[in-house]
Amino acid sequence: MSDFDAEAVAERLKAKSRMRRKIRTYAQRQSVLDEHTFELLKLDVAGCNAIQLQDWLSERGVAVNTSTIYRWLYRNRESK
């Protein structure tokens, strides 16, 4: 029989991963869309959908997915 202890190895690897994991700062949680809050909310009120907002953002060099825009709008709309 082998003296291999899979549980001990797994625990050691998990501990190593925890040490390597970075703590997220506030700046890391900010969205690139936050820089365009005023414009995005005004365009949303004007009736633009997420695809149109994605097009508008791409004109400004911001590459985001429409699902990101949907989630951002859901969190940032005043009337939920």
Query: Would you state the pLDDT for residue 80?
Result: 46
Query: Would you state the pLDDT for residue 28?
Result: 62
Q: How far is 52 from 69, CA to CA, in rounded Å?
A: 10
Contact (Cβ atoms closer than 8 angstroms) between residue 70 and residue 31: no
pTM of whole model > 0.95? no
pLDDT tens digits, 5-51: 899 999 999 999 888 887 776 656 788 899 999 999 999 999 999 99
Domain assignments of the chain as residue spans, ordered by start: 6-76
Residue type, 6: A
Residue length of the chain = 80
* Assigned token pair, 52: 């149109």
Question: How many CB atoms are closer than 10 A to CB 63?
Answer: 9
